[in-house]
Amino acid sequence: MPFSFPTGTARLVAAGACALALTTQVGCSDGGGGGGDSATESATRSSTDGGTQVTIKNFKFQPASLAVSPGAKVTVVNKDSTTHTLTASKGGSFNTGNIAPGKSVTFTAPSKAGDFPYTCTIHPFMKGTLTVK
Give the residues lining the site for Cu ion (CB under 5 A): 84, 120, 122-123
- Of 22 and 77, CB closest to Cu ion: 77
- Of 38 and 98, CB closest to Cu ion: 98
Three-class DSSP category at 72: coil
Q: Least distance from C-beta 46 to Cu ion, angstroms?
A: 27
Give pairs for 38-43: CB < 8 Å, separation 24+.
none
Give dist(CA 119, CA 110) in Å, integer.
16
Give dist(CA 38, CA 70) in Å, integer.
20
Q: Least distance from C-beta 113 to Cu ion, angstroms?
A: 27
- Of 103 and 123, CB closest to Cu ion: 123
Q: Least distance from C-beta 95 to Cu ion, angstroms?
A: 13
8-state DSSP, 32: -
Q: Least distance from C-beta 43 to Cu ion, angstroms?
A: 27
- Of 43 and 122, CB closest to Cu ion: 122
Other beta carbons within 10 Å of 95: 14
